[in-house]
Structure 1
Amino acid sequence: MILELADIRIHPGQQTEFDAAIQRGLAEVISHAKGFCGFKVNKGIESPERYALMIFWETLENHTIDFRESPAFTQWRAIVGPYFAAPPVVEHFSLLAKSS
């Protein structure tokens, strides 16, 4: 399993609208993508305009090719993109260890 970690910064004062938009985009678009295994979204406490989006994929290619090169990516960005203060920083991780 692959973890996609996106560090998202939004425009100040748009947290309520973005909270609804990201949940809508995850439910309506990303959750239907090939290889999608789940997600977590965390909101910043000290930096309320910062979000950590974690999406779990079966393979790296499920995100980088199957999703990113599909029309679904355009749909996703149309929902959440207007709130971005800058492009998200996205990296991928493989699991090294976890608690039981």
Structure 2
Amino acid sequence: MAVIEHALLLVRPGSEAGFEAAVTEAKPLIAASPGFISLEIRRPTETGQPYLLLVEWRSIEDHREGFRQSDRYQQWRALLHRFYDPMPVVSYFGDLV
């Protein structure tokens, strides 16, 4: 059963273009992770709204123990975390049984 990682990314006002450029650079880092299935980041349709992050993983452990404990995550963090205020809260969703 795959899981969806969900987060609302509150990007600092005025830094949206820089964030979007950094996302393009960061995508290959997460895509190279074992258990990664897909990534989708949606741009807000209204000013001041968060971006939507959806990542599909084979398991929560692939995200938490695999990606988050890797050197790739440190690079991802260096590229993207400076844009967030506050830091996003991550939630996971599985299939309906």
> Is 1:18 aligned to 2:19, yes or no?
yes
Aligned length: 96
Change in CA separation of 1:19 and 1:34 when aligned onto 2, cut-off 3 Å:
same
Letter matched to residue 62 of structure 2? N
Runs of 4+ in 1 over 3 A off after TM superposition: none
Instruction: Give the unaligned 5+ runs of structure 2.
Output: none
CA RMSD of aligned residues (A): 1.5
Change in CA separation of 1:83 and 1:49 when aligned onto 2, cut-off 3 Å:
farther
* TM-score of the two chains, using structure 2 as the length reference: 0.90
Q: 2:5 corresponds to which residue?
A: 4
Identity %: 29
Q: Shift of the alpha carbon at 1:56? A: 0.5
1:1-100 alignment, distance < 5 Å? 1-27=2-28, 29-96=29-96
Alpha-carbon distance in 1 for matches of 2:92, 2:46 = 25
Q: What does the per-residue CA deviation read over 1:28-53, in whole Å, with 9 as the maximum and x for residues that have no partner?
A: x1010110001111111124451111
Instruction: Give the unaligned 5+ runs of structure 1.
Output: none
Alpha-carbon distance in 1 for matches of 2:44, 2:12 = 13
**Structure 1 or 2: larger strand share?**
1
Letter matched to residue 61 of structure 1? E
Q: Secondary structure at the match of 2:80?
A: helix
